[in-house]
Structure 1
């Protein structure tokens, strides 16, 4: 997916995110982390952090942004944080069955968010000045 490829290239180089940008899981991650209004990933990361905070797993998602190790996330924790409507939409966009999408998302999302927040700051640090 162009979003992930551009983000990774801008920060680390073309293969930095560690997944094929055209893979179904990359489609799901890009859809999850891309703001619907501006098509920038910053707002999506903020919304993701909020979702995890509201369901009691904020420390997990914040560890992906902070400098240091990433806490793992289970498919069940993702399901609780994202909710059925988002899961259905991501599965539809990616073409993956919901449970498989959640499993792959739990494996890749922590590293992608970590790499998109290299300075350990929430999305506002990206200077959403293009809005």
Structure 2
């Protein structure tokens, strides 16, 4: 994942590079209504099979930045994407390309037993994603 490290190394959006991207993934999950809300949104916009694979215990199905962007835009999260791209100083398509790599890992990380948390238990801990940044980007997430 060195291309992510390279790109994020220069994008110090107030946080350490890789953790900024993981933080954005967390914000998307939060704005979508938790894991259940995000998976539901992705299902409604054509990425249901991929989203289910991220939750399940098997391999994560890849999605392209374009596919993810279309689903998130249609799901009403376009303004969050624009804002995040602006903060990181990258093009929104670049951001979506990176998120298409990180978001599956974030969902996978937050559903370790292969189950979406029940509604009402959607209060996931953004701090739990900090350890994911360390795994994905090989650095310590401060």
Alignment RMSD, CA only? 2.7
- 1:113 match: 107
Q: How does 1:1-16 map to 2 (within 5 A)?
A: none
- 2:66 match: 76
- 1:90 match: 81
Structure 2 gaps, min length 5 = 1-16, 124-142
Residue 50 (1) aligns with residue 40 (2): yes
Q: How many residues align?
A: 104
SS in 1 for 2:49: helix
Which has the bigger relative contact order, CA under 8 A and spacing at least 6? 2
Residue 28 (1) aligns with residue 24 (2): yes
Q: Give the conservation status (yes or no) of the 8 Å contact 2:39–2:52.
A: yes
Measured after TM superposition, the shift of residue 62 of structure 1 is 0.7
4+ aligned runs moved over 3 Å, structure 1: 125-129
Structure 1 gaps, min length 5 = 1-18, 37-42
Give distance in 2, aligned partners of 1:113 and 1:55: 17
Give distance in 1, aligned partners of 2:94 and 2:109: 23
